[in-house]
Structure 1
Amino acid sequence: MAKRNNENLSIADALKEFVETNRLEQGLNAINVQDAWQNMMGNGVNNYTTAIQLKGEILYVQLSSSVLREELSYGKEKIVTMLNDHLGKQIIKEIVLR
């Protein structure tokens, strides 16, 4: 049974505690990274993106276009920086384009 706090908590603090207690942060990070990719990369890249998966600190992106994969490979560091800035924390250390 979950412990009960008698002190008053804000909703933000209560949700943060719930996420930490139930170890949901990794799953939430994966969802947030997928949303960030779709928002930051735009329709041109999203049309060729078939799968996005976060494992640890590595983002795996599967693309259906080899030309786009090659083009994006030149700016991997910039993409990592943009996504982390959009997320507001260091989640991604490396991108693997497949």
Structure 2
Amino acid sequence: MAKRLNDYSSVSDVLKQFVESNNLQKGIDKIDVRDAWKNLMGNGVNNYTREIMLKGTTLYVELTSAVLREELSYGKEKIVKMINEEMGREVIKEVILR
């Protein structure tokens, strides 16, 4: 049986406790990273993005344009910094463009 925090817990505290107790943070991070990529990169890049996948601390992005992949490869460090700022903590350490 789950333990009760107290009679007056806020919804956010209860949800945080639920996520921690059920080890759901990795799955939530995968979804949040996809959303962050879409918000930060805009429609121009998103039109050429086929797949976004988070494995551990590495973000894999599959692109359909070799030219765009080459352009984005010059700014990998900036992409990591922008996504981590969007997430509010360090989630990714490396970006691999395919």
TM-score normalized by the length of structure 1: 0.95
User: 1:8: Cα distance to partner?
Assistant: 2.3
Which residue of 2 is the match for residue 73 of structure 1? 73
Which residue of 2 is the match for residue 39 of structure 1? 39
- Work out the number of aligned pairs and report it: 98
CA RMSD of aligned residues (A): 1.0
Where does structure 1 differ by over 2 angstroms across 4 or more consecutive aligned residues?
Answer: 1-8
Which residue of 1 is the match for residue 25 of structure 2? 25
1:48 equivalenced with 2:67 (yes/no): no
d(CA) in 1 for partners of 2:6 and 2:51? 44
d(CA) in 2 for partners of 1:43 and 1:50? 13
d(CA) in 2 for partners of 1:87 and 1:6? 29
User: 1:6: Cα distance to partner?
Assistant: 4.1
d(CA) in 2 for partners of 1:73 and 1:18? 38
Identity fraction in percent: 62
d(CA) in 1 for partners of 2:36 and 2:64? 19
Structure 2: segments with no counterpart, 5+ residues: none
d(CA) in 1 for partners of 2:89 and 2:5? 29
d(CA) in 1 for partners of 2:38 and 2:58? 17
The AA in structure 1 aligned to 2:84 is N
